[in-house]
Amino acid sequence: MAKLSVNINKIATIRNARGGNNPDVLQVALDCERFGADGITVHPRPDERHIRYQDVRDIKPRLTTEFNIEGYPQRSFIDLVKEVHSTQVTLVPDSPDQITSNHGWDTVANYDFLVDVVGEFRKSGIRTSIFVDPDARMVEMAAKIGADRVELYTEPYASAYPTDREAAIAPFVKAAEVAHKCGLGLNAGHDLSLVNLRYLIDCIPYVDEVSIGHALICDALYLGLEETVQQYLKCCR
C-alpha cells in the first residue's frame, strides 16, 4: 500500500501570481491531510517562485502527517530542512533556473558530494531519499551513499504509457527490484496521474510513497480537492 504525498507547489504558484494569501497554502495542506492524504510535499526553490522558505516554516508545525521537502541541497536548503526537521528530504539535481525536475542524480559522479549531504541529514534524524532515473547502477550507488530511499523519476513512464504501458514500466520494475534487494525504500514521482498511477502501483509492489502535484491539482479544478485526493488514494490502495 503506497502512501500519497500531495505536492502543493502549484497552489503557491497561483497565490504568488496575485500576491496576498489567496489561495492559502497552509490551509490547502491541512485540507489535503483532512481529506486523507498521507503526507505533504513541497519543493522550495532559491527564487521562491512558488513555495517560499517561510511557507515551509509555517506548514511544518501544523502537520500531523509526513512532511517531505525536496530540492537541490545547497547550504540554505540544508539549513532549512534541518531547522524544521521534516520527516523526509528528497535530494534532486535541479539547477536554480530549472522549470521542473527532468532527470535524476548521477550517483556515481556525485558520490562524494551526496555522501556528505546524506550524512548530515542522517545525523539530524531525517530520512533521506535520492531522486534517480530507473537505472540499476544509480540505485545501487544510492544505497552505498547511505540513503534511506530512492525516488524514481517517472516522467519517461508517464510519457510512454499511452502507447505501450508494458514497455514503459519495464525499466522501473527492474530498478525497483534492485532497490528492494539493496534494502532501500522506494518512492516515485513526476507526471503520475489518475491515468497511469494504478498500473504503476500494480506492477511495483515495493512502492512506499508517491509524490503527486501537477496532475492532482489540475484534476482538483474539475473534481474538487476532496474527491481528487480520494481518487488518488484509491489508486494507491
Determine the Cα–Cα distance for residues 187 and 210; give it in Å rounded to an integer: 6
- Which cell numbers in the block locate residue 176? 525497483
Indicate if 43 belongs to the active site: yes
Measuring CA to CA, how many Å separate 138 from each of 73, 103, 151, 175?
18, 12, 11, 9
**Exposure class string for 81-115: b at 16+ Cβ within 10 A, else e:** bbebebbbbbbbbbeeeeeebeebbbbeebeeebe
| Catalytic annotation, pick one of 33, 43, 140, 151 | 43
Measuring CA to CA, how many Å separate 68 from each of 40, 130, 202?
6, 12, 24
Angle CA(2)–CA(34)–CA(154) in degrees, nearest 5?
Answer: 30
Indicate if 190 belongs to the active site: yes
| Catalytic annotation, pick one of 33, 151, 190, 209 | 190
Residue type, position 79, single letter: D
Indicate if 140 belongs to the active site: no
| Catalytic annotation, pick one of 33, 50, 66, 70 | 70
Prior bond to 156 cis, omega within 30?
Answer: no
At 185 the three-state DSSP class reads strand
Residues with a catalytic annotation lie at 43, 70, 190
